[in-house]
Amino acid sequence: MASDTHPDGRRTGADAKIADAPEAWPVERSEMRYQGPKCGMRTDWVVMPGANGEGTSLAARDYMVHPGAAAALALDDDGRILLLRQYRHAVRHTMWELPAGMIDVEGEDPLLTAQRELVEEAGLRAGRWHELADFFPTVGFSDERIHVYLARDLSEVPAEEIDFVREHEETDLAAEWVPLDEAVGLVLAGRLHNSSTIIGVLAAQAAAADGFASLRDPVGG
C-alpha cells in the first residue's frame, strides 16, 4: 500500500509501519574474547526462543565491538564529489572512497568525526552539512554504525591549520573530483566497493531530486 501523509504531517500506510527499532534480548553472560586498539571481539550468550516457539534456549553470538565511523560526501558547486584512493589490507584492494574515519575519540559526535576527517584527508571545510545515511554495515557480525553526511559550501583549509601527520596507508592518498552522475555509474558498474561510498553516492543522487530539501539536519556539530 502506498504511503500517504496525514493533514497533521504524520505518515500513514506502510511508511508509518516500517522502521528499524532498538531492542535488546536478554543476555545471560558476556565475555570479551579480544580487545585491540580499535575494536574487539565479544561473545554473548543470548536467551532465544526455543524450538517451535516453546520455552527458551541459550545461543552464543560472536560479534565485533566497534566504535563506529563517519564519512563525508563533499559536493562542490559543479556537482562533483571527492573520492580518495587508499589501500585496504583486509580485502587486499586499493579502494576509491569518501573521506571517512573511525570515531576514535570517545563520546565524539559522528558529525564532528566527519568534519575532522574532511580536514585531515582532503584539506577542506564545509559550510553546510546534512545527514545522507545512517547504517549498520554488517549486522550479523558487528555493532559498527556508520553515518554519511553531505558536505557543501566547501573551502580549502590552509596547510598550517591542519594539525595532522599522514602515515601508513594515508601517505599516498590520491584524490579525484567526479561528477555525481558519473559516480553513480561507477557504483552500478561494480567499480566501487566501499559501503559508505556506495550508500552515500546513491543517497546523494536520490536526494538531489528535490535539491536536497528532504535531507535531515545533523544532530551534532
Question: Which sequence positions are flagged as catalytic?
Answer: 170
Chain centre to alpha carbon of residue 87: 19
User: Which residue is it, cell 528499524?
Assistant: 20
Parallel, antiparallel, or unpaired for β 69-74 and 146-156? parallel
